[in-house]
Amino acid sequence: MKAIFFENPSNFYKVILLEIEECNFKTEKDEIVITGNFGEITTDTHYRFVGNVINHPRYGTQFQAISYEREKPTGKNGLIGYLSSDRFPGIGKRTAEKIVEHFGENTIDAILDDPDSLAAISGLTKQKQELIHDVLQQSQGTEKTLIELANYGFSNNMAATIMNFYKTETLKTIRENPYQLVEDIEGMGFRTADRLAEDLGFPADDKNRIKGALLATVNELCLSNGDTYVESEELMTRALQLLESSRRFIIEDSQLIEALVEMVQDMKIIEDQKRFALPSLYFSEEGIAGSLDRLLNRKQAIEYPGVDLEKEIHKMQKELGITYDAVQAHAITQAISSAFFILTGGPGTGKTTVLNGIVKLFCELNGLPANPLEYHEGIFPIIMAAPTGRAAKRMNEMTGIQSSTIHRLLGLTGQENPNEDVYTAELEGKLLIIDEASMIDTWLLHRLLKSIPPGMQVIIVGDKDQLPSVGPGQVLHDLLASAVIPQIELEQIYRQAGGSSIIPLAHDIKNGKLPADFNINQSDRSYFPCQAAQIEPLIRIVVEKAKAKGFTSKDIQILAPMYKGPAGINALNTMMQEILNPNTDNKRREVKHFDFVYRVGDKVLQLVNQPELNVFNGDIGEITSIQLAKETEDKVDEITVLFDATEVTYQKTDWSKFTLAYCCSIHKAQGSEFNMVILPMVKQYGRMLRRNLLYTAITRSKNKLILCGDEGAFRFATENAGDLRRTMLVEKLLRNSESDKIIFTVDEPKALEPSKPKNFTLSIDMVLGQEINPMIGMEGVTPYQFMK
Ligand SMILES: Nc1ncnc2c1ncn2[C@@H]1O[C@H](COP(=O)(O)OP(=O)(O)OP(=O)(O)O)[C@@H](O)[C@H]1O
């Protein structure tokens, strides 16, 4: 090897320059550039590559490797010399001879396949056995594993994820139980693991197969519906369907029940009154209830001796030139004097106004300067955070106090495995304010609450009628429904006074009725009736007109619920790009990436959290430059995007971390506001037509709202309150508030009944009704100790 031009550690992709020793194609040169996914490539080592010679338009002749291997020492003498070399300290010639005598020419593979096989060599200590295996694993193992995973049909990225998780145990784990992948590797579907297992000869009624299907079913149902548990009937039916559709084989109910009971006993799935949950979700809900119990158990009312709060509010009103209504004033006093408080309300009801009042009064009562810049005693004791970067930025603009994302506040990357017990440091400060709380999922709330120290006041702000979080749970709804926390809902709309007709429309929709003037154009909103096929041409006309009037791509945002189809996000994005960022004179740089073209000036949306770069899922930016490979240091194409706070350069392998943003999903727009929102709604959106989705979309619009599509679809969505998510949080919160018990105090541990597979009664209810107490043995233990 002469040089490494590029390497991506996350997927092992490398571009390297190699000296050719021998080859079976014609070349004048004695070196060549090789691309592919390789483990560690070292100098002074010989490799054999299999692949294709290609003529790259920019770089000339290259070799695209499909597979490769390090030239292994062969022949008995070669092997003996290799094993007794300096690479294996402490292994002499005599021992090397014994090893090669035992395993023959296949020595290296035999040891790599089964490290325990070295135990058969007399006189070889356990320590030396491990040393030999480790050295072989390091030098030969990565390649061998990568090649094997490719043979199993895994993509390079998936192979890298799997290897990063299991390390040297990768192949051993997969060969022993391929279904383990379903449990450990995010994004690993049951069917993929099942195909692999079938190739490896695992029978269709293998118990691990049934367990894998059960776990995949709970996982899939919770993630797709946002529930935190699955009902027993649904779990059984869906798991059976999955098992029998993946392979043609009848699984008996008794086999399914037996596997489920074992999983419950092993705490891989948690059972609570015939409801089944992933441990991470179950214990996060327990953790939330426990944290709140801890935080609320403090003296409820915070007193300010000698202070008349009403008078203080009166004084503040004069200073601010505002008159709070009775509910708003009450919200300020409640928030100031509660350890934990929730403020909810629709758009324009004064949440920000009240929040500003709370902050001002809090500063006054605690001797803090109103301007954080005038505080010189360390970190300002009021901390603010929101689930998205944009919402945090808005909070900062509204209050003047530094705000961050909740992830950043907790030091999380957003890429944490929910099953991991991630350490988050205790927060420092006196008052914590969290906005856009409807977007927080169960895992995140658990981690947030865990980090709140005793004595810190907490105020949660959010609109309960908006879409719940992308992740499982509906925590704001549940916290309000349990009523364990002091809460106030603001209902009086103030922004309407400014002549807005968007906010009253939002409130009508929230209340389940489409107003009579829905299809009558107002100064700030219009409605254009049309069919799904007409959406694209209609929006084209609207946007062309808006552009002529001076609206830019920053002002206009199309929101749609689905990606595919003529009225879907993808088609609308391509169309918008043509109108708002065309390349008519061919002067703008552009690059093709799968179905999209990216062009300088394009509006793009970040799809993942990258806290190290200060960009987060949902951030919107603009492509400022495109660098072609020949101009870059790493010799790969790059795109640079300017976001509000930062500029990020993405190498080609990372281009899937963003997408065009002229049109985005309503979920992605949560927490953001736009000058003009264009919102198509047609019957084809099907089950997406729900009230909270429509309400969330409409409330994203600050000044102009263009509705188009089918009035029936708008009406259907308005009237369809949808189902609430299924969670156990309310009952856990109420259980704690109704009893003085500390949350993890439970019954004495007792042995669980072993399952009786043979004469099992085939009634799901009977088996699941065994009252398996999910809390057995949990005293004083943190939830995560039971996972993994
Ligand atoms: N008591 C009041 N008297 C007069 N105007 C008020 C009052 N409360 C709020 N407002 C005004 O109503 C408008 C909306 O208030 P605010 O921005 O606080 O609402 P919000 O609930 O935070 O809205 P959103 O969720 O849409 O951001 C502001 O212009 C604010 O000044």
Pocket mutation for ligand 1, best pick of 314, 317, 353, 698 (most atoms within 8 Å of C-beta): 353
- Cα dihedral 281→284→290→296 (10° resolution): -110
> pLDDT digit string (tens) for 660-717?
999 999 988 987 889 999 999 999 888 889 999 999 999 999 899 999 999 999 999 9
Q: Give me the sign of the Cα torsion angle 716, 718, 719, 724.
A: positive
Per the annotation, does 405 bind a ligand?
no
586: exposed, middle or buried (C-beta count within 10 Å: 0-12, 13-18, 19+)?
A: exposed
Residue 468 near residue 226, CB atoms below 8 Å: yes
Q: β-strand 590-593 against 674-681: which pairing, if any?
A: unpaired
pLDDT of residue 686: 85
Place of tokens 């929910």: 418
- Low-confidence winner among 284-288, 518-522, 747-751 (lowest mean pLDDT): 747-751
CA 321 to ligand 1 centroid distance, Å: 13
pLDDT of residue 497: 53
Which residue has the CA at smallest separation from atom 13 of ligand 1?
495
- Low-confidence winner among 43-57, 266-280, 361-375, 546-560 (lowest mean pLDDT): 43-57
pLDDT of residue 64: 83
Which ipTM score applies to this complex? 0.97
- Low-confidence winner among 19-28, 262-271, 469-478, 616-625 (lowest mean pLDDT): 19-28
Distance of CA 647 to the CA centre of its chain: 23
Would you list the domain boundaries of the chain?
3-148, 177-277, 283-490, 513-719
Q: Which two tokens stand for residue 395?
A: 């909070």
Across the range 424-431, mean pLDDT stands at 91
pLDDT tier at 309, thresholds 50, 70, 90: very high
Model-wide pTM > 0.80 = no
Q: β-strand 674-681 against 663-665: which pairing, if any?
A: unpaired
- Main-chain dihedrals φ then ψ at residue 414, nearest 5 degrees: 90, -5
Percentage of the chain exceeding pLDDT 90: 54
CA 491 to ligand 1 centroid distance, Å: 11
- What is the number of other CB atoms lying within 10 angstroms of the CB of residue 662? 25
Single out the residue of 19, 26, 112 nearest to residue 61, CA to CA: 26
Q: Give me the sign of the Cα torsion angle 477, 480, 483, 485.
A: positive
Q: Which two tokens stand for residue 103?
A: 């395993």
CA 369 to ligand 1 centroid distance, Å: 24
CATH superfamily of 283-490: P-loop containing nucleotide triphosphate hydrolases (3.40.50.300)
Single out the residue of 34, 63, 14 nearest to residue 6, CA to CA: 14
Residue 215 near residue 196, CB atoms below 8 Å: no
177-277 sits in which CATH class?
Answer: mainly alpha
Pocket mutation for ligand 1, best pick of 328, 352, 476, 490 (most atoms within 8 Å of C-beta): 352
Which residue has the CA at smallest separation from atom 15 of ligand 1?
350
CA 238 to ligand 1 centroid distance, Å: 48
Per the annotation, does 351 bind a ligand?
yes
CA 395 to ligand 1 centroid distance, Å: 14
Q: Which residues contact ligand 1 via a Cβ below 6 A?
A: 322-325, 328, 345, 347-353, 494-495
Which residue has the CA at smallest separation from atom 1 of ligand 1?
324
Q: Which two tokens stand for residue 669?
A: 């727009």
Pocket mutation for ligand 1, best pick of 489, 494, 500 (most atoms within 8 Å of C-beta): 494
Q: Give me the sign of the Cα torsion angle 79, 82, 88, 91.
A: positive
List, in sequence order, every residue forming a beta bridge with 50; answer none if it has no partner. 67
CA 495 to ligand 1 centroid distance, Å: 6
Single out the residue of 467, 411, 466, 421 nearest to residue 443, CA to CA: 421
Enter the DSSP assignment of 748: P
Ligand 1 atom closest to Cα of residue 497: 12
pLDDT of residue 59: 75
CA 323 to ligand 1 centroid distance, Å: 11
Ligand 1 atom closest to Cα of residue 394: 27
Measure the N-to-C terminal CA separation of the chain; round to a whole number of Å.
40
Per the annotation, does 564 bind a ligand?
no
Per the annotation, does 350 bind a ligand?
yes
Judge: domain 513-719, CATH 3.40.50.300: yes
Cα 133 from Cα 131, distance rounded (Å): 5
Report DSSP letters for 292-323, one per residue.
HHHHHSS-SBPP-TT--HHHHHHHHHHHHT--
Residue 436 near residue 670, CB atoms below 8 Å: yes
Place of tokens 């030999």: 132
pLDDT of residue 72: 67
pLDDT tier at 574, thresholds 50, 70, 90: very high
Let me know if the fold of 283-490 is the same as that of 513-719.
yes
Cα 431 from Cα 338, distance rounded (Å): 11
Report DSSP letters for 130-198, one per residue.
HHHHHHHIIIIIHHHHHHHHHHTT--HHHHHHHHHHHGGGHHHHHHH-TTHHHHHSTT--HHHHHHHHH
Give the list of residues 6+ apart from residue 305 with CB closer than 8 angstroms, or none.
none
Helix (H, G, I), strand (E, B) or coil at 689: coil
Per the annotation, does 761 bind a ligand?
no
CA 514 to ligand 1 centroid distance, Å: 24
> pLDDT digit string (tens) for 332-376?
999 999 999 999 998 889 999 999 999 999 999 999 998 888 998
